[in-house]
Amino acid sequence: MVDDESLMTRVMANDRAAYELLYVRWREPIFRFLLRRTGGRSLAEEAHQETWLRVYRFRHRFDRSRLFRSWVFAIAANCGRDSFRPEPELFVLPLAPGEPHDLRDRLVQGLGALDPDERRLLLLAGEGFEGPEIASMLGIGAGAVRMRLSRARERLRAALGGSDA
Amino acid sequence: MRDVDELLRALDGPRAPIAAPPWPRRRPRWVYAAGALAAAAAALVAVGFGGTSLPGIRGFAGDTPTFDLRMVVERGGVAVRVAGGSLHTGERVLFRAAATSPTLGVVWVEGPRGAESIASVEVDGVPRDVGDGGGLAAYRFDRPGRYVFHLSSAVGQCVDCPTIPVEVR
């Protein structure tokens, strides 16, 4: 299988097929990230389209020494509006035993109560990005990432009305 | 209950659009939207905004780029420079951006709906209109309130970035 970075090198040479292959690989994780970031479908779709247009428009800025994954998530984290319009009924959250039946709604509302930066940080951490990489993706200091991430988790925990199991 | 990170990873929703967006077609830089925006764009040139009246921005290679943002409001086909003050709902504003060295910026606004991205732009020492192959980027005020326009490297981030505050009535 051709790796993402090689595909992106081909996109830089205006290879549309390579772009579409990257899209197929990454459309779901990026869209899921944006759904959680915006709360609902219409804003997520708008930001998703903008993300992929930026992948094309700024293709020559891709640093081949970086992972494509980091680059595309950085674009997704920074484009589109920071508005949050919750549509909890759109989401699915399988419940573990003992979890409240309205946990999905509380989680979505809790995300909306965070400020846009905190939400963005928390969701990037949820995608497996570490603090220094998030700092680089968002152009902020690693210390600020740590502090804001900690605060975001605390606030979301409080919104869910409990402590971690 | 699971921890918040685990809960967020488990939160799923509808599927992504099947097809990738089409690549923008190449168009000449000066393609204007129809009607009043086209008139305003022509007026940008007429009032010297499109020419060399803006000083060139210079800087040293390797510096963190410093952004410059200008804004005009379109009124009756004429572009009027806005550096602050009052505007009215229904009015549209257009933007021109530059930076001390080539970089990517985003024009965004903090308003009654929170932070909103308007357009991303590749900037350098030559001031250029903010827009893309589809025309100039315009922001129309649909509700009163305080709006602060920014040009920085990302929405919501502004460290000494240029800002233009306006009160919309």
Residue B33 has a pLDDT of 41
Q: What is the pLDDT of residues A28-45, one digit of tens each?
A: 999 999 999 999 898 899
Res A74 pLDDT > 60: yes
Mean of pLDDT values over B87-104: 88
CA distance A161 to B6: 16
Whether B157 has its CB under 8 Å from any CB of chain A: the answer is yes
ipTM: 0.88
CA distance A64 to B78: 45
Q: Give the CA distances from residue B47 to residues B36, B74, B81, B90, in Å, rounded to whole numbers and listed in that order.
A: 16, 12, 9, 22
Q: Is the dihedral of CA A130, A133, A138, A144 positive or negative?
A: positive
Residue of chain A minimizing CA distance to B111: A83
Q: What is the pLDDT of residues B148-168, one digit of tens each?
A: 999 988 888 888 889 999 999
Whether the full predicted model's pTM is greater than 0.80, yes or no, is no
Q: What is the pLDDT of residues A83-105, one digit of tens each?
A: 888 888 899 999 999 999 999 99
**Residues of A with Cβ-Cβ distance to B106 under 8 angstroms:** 78-79
Indicate yes or no: CB of A126 within 8 angstroms of CB of B9.
yes
A89-98, B22-31, B100-109: least confident range = B22-31
Residue B55 has a pLDDT of 37
Whether B5 has its CB under 8 Å from any CB of chain A: the answer is yes
The β-bridge relationship of strands B163-168 and B86-87 is parallel
**Residues of A with Cβ-Cβ distance to B155 under 8 angstroms:** 78-79, 81-82, 116
Q: What is the pLDDT of residues B29-85, one digit of tens each?
A: 343 443 444 445 444 444 444 433 333 333 333 456 789 999 999 887 788 888 888
CA distance A134 to A120: 10
Residue A95 has a pLDDT of 92
Residues 85-114, chain A, touching B (beta carbon < 8 A): 90-94, 96, 98-100, 103-104, 107-108, 111
CA distance B158 to A84: 21
Which residue matches tokens 């772009």? A19
Whether A53 has its CB under 8 Å from any CB of chain B: the answer is yes
CA A101 to chain B, closest CA, distance in angstroms equals 12
